[in-house]
Chains A and B, each alone.
Chain A
């Protein structure tokens, strides 16, 4: 998708594939693509909006849009903008791209569920580097204050942000302990191991009186790491694979 678009964030999307797939296709989330505004739907907010391709691919697979439309990514007139736009594409729950904002929006949805006595759940995916943002921690405190056990924050801990390793740019460690200290139930998992992801989401569902933070250790560019190594850039942030490499990548992932 990003190679066809000529720009985008393929590696940031690849680190989140198993988690997003587990949510949409692992029997976790309740949704109906024919009723995108169904009040009882579960909400998925991609706070790391630059990974829009993984969201669009999931929404296409789920039936919100035709698969052919995926190749219109980032083109003028397309509903598939560079970062998700909730006003254009049904199934997109929040317009993101300015990092740090999705969890607060998720809290709003989770509070609305409580007010309306609805049992929908809210899943927010944050980027690793996104945890730099102060707003994330404002939101973390608020979610704990309101004991939002219908809210799950998943950090795609792929180890990188735009200019380098998260450990070097602004060290977040110990990240899991930070979320624990903010009174969240925390889980550390391998974000590419689907059974682990499903088990974590199930544990979150069974956790009462507090929100759950899942720190999912992932690889940026998971599935095509050898190709990134050949390109001598295992971060490969915000740029697209050359056409020949993209074809190899698709073969490697198994299309």
Chain B
């Protein structure tokens, strides 16, 4: 990954690894926890739970619709169901099941989509979940979480299991830099301010949090003081943090590894427009599929870089001075 080394961030595990390890840890204290996988457990890392709790692990095959339905039935009989597959497959293949079997009866099912975004690299667009957050946000009652790094993905997994109700958690394939070196406090629905500043606020989640921190450092060299918010929870959104950022810094940049439609950028803009309008710029995939390639090359080609955030911040700041 290209992000973070310029500002001395150390590399950590992938968020899918942190999820898998946290899940296995939670299994020890939560006998009601069951885990289901769509035959990708060595990719989603539910393998760690499976190895320790084989009786509570169900690999139902490459059949995402049934995966979601079985998880719903287990939850309806009192279990905490965590199901995992690739973000693209579980959200797109089983959307009706998520809608009718999980969201409508508001069951305690935790949906984990791994291999999200274009940073999975060479496997290409068929495997890249780039619309998963928007789809999850459109499910009534779902909480939607996109952790940035290893410590926060671990915390988010624990919070997800403790939360009553359906949750979507997005995890990535590649190792990512650690933005919370000393562990992290993570409360669902509450943004974390990683850096303070008064000229612009960089709001990001997932791998774009490290990119935003690097961008903030580059902006500081240009005498621009940028606030950085890790908006790990897209729904419910921390509207107070957005209103405060808008009022105190007067410009927002929203960065995410996702299509423009219906995810963090749209949600933040909606809140800002209502509560405290200000100039906003976006760093995302816009309205297009990516392609195969090395993760670093893809992120660069599709504009998901610290440089892109710096230039978006400069544009947003220029807009507020007009």
Give A residues with C-beta under 8 Å from B.
39, 85-87, 93-98, 100-101, 103-113, 115-116, 134-135, 138-139, 141-142, 145-146
Contacts and interface: CB of A to CB of B under 8 A. Distances in A.
Interface string B36-57: 0000000000000000000110
Given A107-B69, A134-B65, 14 more contacts: A94-B76, A96-B100, A101-B97, A101-B100, A104-B72, A106-B73, A108-B72, A111-B34, A112-B74, A115-B56, A138-B66, A139-B69, A141-B61, A142-B63
A150 B212 CA distance: 53
A93 B69 contact: no
A41 to B, nearest CB: 10
**Top 8 A-B pairs ranked by shortest CB distance?**
A108-B73, A104-B69, A112-B77, A138-B63, A138-B66, A105-B73, A108-B74, A135-B65
A130 to B, nearest CB: 13
B4 to A, nearest CB: 41
Contacts of B55: 115
A171 to B, nearest CB: 22
A112 B73 contact: yes
Contacts of B185: none
Given A94-B105, A101-B101, A138-B61, A111 B96 contact: no
B71 A108 contact: yes
Contact of A95 (B61, B77, B100): B100
Contacts of B76: 86, 93-94, 105, 108-109
Contacts of B16: none
B258 interface: no
Contacts of A87: 104-106
Nearest to B31: A115
B34 A115 contact: yes
A111 B70 contact: yes
A112 B79 CA distance: 7
Contacts, number: 107
Contacts of A98: 96, 99-100
Contact of B61 (A96, A101, A142): A142
Q: Interface on chain B toward A: helix, strand, loop, or mixed SS?
A: helix
A97 B96 CA distance: 11
A172 to B, nearest CB: 19
Contact of A108 (B65, B69, B96, B105): B69
Contacts of B79: 112, 115
Interface residues of B, number: 30
B78 interface: yes
B65 A39 contact: no
A39 to B, nearest CB: 7
Contacts of B302: none
Contacts of B34: 111, 115
Contact of B70 (A86, A97, A108): A108
B289 interface: no
B100 A111 contact: no
B75 interface: yes
Interface in B95-125: 96-97, 99-101, 104-106
A132 to B, nearest CB: 13
Nearest to B79: A112
B84 to A, nearest CB: 16
29 contacts: A39-B77, A86-B76, A87-B104, A94-B105, A95-B104, A96-B100, A98-B99, A98-B100, A101-B65, A104-B68, A105-B73, A105-B101, A107-B70, A107-B73, A108-B71, A108-B72, A108-B81, A109-B77, A111-B73, A112-B78, A115-B55, A115-B56, A135-B97, A138-B60, A138-B63, A138-B66, A141-B63, A142-B60, A142-B61
Contacts of A109: 73-74, 76-77
B180 interface: no
